[in-house]
Structure 1
Amino acid sequence: MTRFCIYCGREDSPDNPVINGVCLECRIKRGELVILEKNELWIEFCKVCGSVKIGYKWIETKGFADAINHIVANIVPVITKPGPGVSNIQIDSYELVTSASWRTVVRVYFKGLYGSKEFKVPKDLVVYLKPTKCPRCKMIESGEFEAVLQIRDVNKRELEKHLEKLFSKDKRLARDLVDFIESSNGVDIYFYNHGAARKLARRLSSIMGLEYKENYEVAGMRSGKQRARLYISLKPSAESH
């Protein structure tokens, strides 16, 4: 049986398929192919270092435009739903309608399939960056952390898998964790005490075959005694390169 569009009356065809009584062109006109659960996003942005909060993580950025890039790549897919008859939906590209700033209009281009016909449509949303201070900048300002585990030049997916397993097995590690900050070439993990940082570092070093190094930095006085902050470095050994 031939299918017709209930809005324009056109007949089903390979270039303009009719699904659930509506043709592709009418879906495009009605804005029904891609559904955004939110048209505005409010995202925390550190006014000191430029890090942006994606989920539970703070990620270093090079500024507003780079922050928008992370938001489009990581948050927009989560709030995107396919419309009726749509499959294989994904972000194709995006552009800034206004200059990247505390308030930015972003036009995201989505592609997908309506039946078996590929389409590409734009959707606009407004990204608001909420000025705040990230945990790292607050910690540096207050000096309330005792140890930093700096992990560099490793496979981030593999690292996250091991971290998830180690933290879920050892609740004391999770209790002593202050924050987890992702950067372009690794992660910094902040702890309230030296012992937790050493424990995690040694386990990761053993599991991933990473070189372990410790350094101390004077961080003021506490109860009349000099306070030393521990920095642990984990990275692939020279032999592994």
Structure 2
Amino acid sequence: MSFTGRFCLRCGRKESDEEPLIDGLCLDCFLKERALAKIPNNVVLMRCPACGSVYVSGSWTPTSGSDEEALRYYIVETVIKKGKTHKSFKDVQLAVLNASNNRAEVLVRSFFMGKPVKQAFTINYRIEAKLCPKCLSVKTRDYEAILQVRFTGEPSEGVRRRVSKLISSVRSISSNVTDYEELREGVDVKFSNISAARQAANYLQGVLGGYIKESWKLHGVVGGRRYGKLSIVLRIPQLIPGELIVFRNSLMEVLDIQRDKLVLRDLTRDEVIKTSFKSLTKEGFRELSPEDYLIDECEVTKFEEGRVTASCVSGAMVEASFPKHLSVGERIQVITYKDLKYVKRLRE
């Protein structure tokens, strides 16, 4: 078949046997103007926090529990298998990448006249936790322990979702869940046996940090003996390395999270300290947002008797106190918080 006299409506490229027009557009312009598949901008999914199954098209389907796999399954079922792809492209495949903070990248691949083509889409998504019928039937069983996950401040949707994924990712934990409830202040998970509840608490603590407290609550008397249930509270501070906090009246940087311990750098003294999450919560701290302070990349031009002078990328010349020696030419960050300047070394 020979094409003559037809041109791309967008760029004017002439149609050929090797590159026929698609809806009046050449391939390059089509990929800029149109979509290979009708990928939704927003996706809302239900996923079982106990087994990781997702609810799509009226049924529950097991998945690994990752956001990427859940989103890919949803789009394949609701878009690819339902023919919501352009007729000029065959064997459409897709991958979901970098799913975090309620956003994900969807990469769609196909072929046109033997030439591989691809398009990338960014979607917003939300995954809600709901027990599937199979796991819900387990809920009728009695429970021996409850794990109450609590946070400093109101938990974000992202951290709630992460708790759900962690619980469902370990079979010996998820198979013993009898109830899962998301609350304003955190998450309550009931378990059919005590060892699974303790395993879950230790696992979450190892990944997210925090401190654990156990107590027994009386639930009745059986055969003249008191009958109680174990209550485990895991308190998580919602901190990540690199964040700045105010603790003990000093500006500090979070360096590392080690189960029930937190490693901090006191920026006033340039000292590394360790504290427990329990002490952090008991003594009180304030988590800073990027709007609370300014950071400037600088180079030391002078250091004398605990005073540093530095030239910064912003064009400013700054002076600040620093308790340890700095070399001329050394790269530093100058953090301004409440009109005070703090120096952070970028290398030891």
Instruction: Normalising by structure 1, report the TM-score.
Output: 0.47
**Which of the two has greater helix per residue?**
1
Q: RCO greater where, 1 or 2, for CA within 8 Å and sep 6 or more?
A: 1
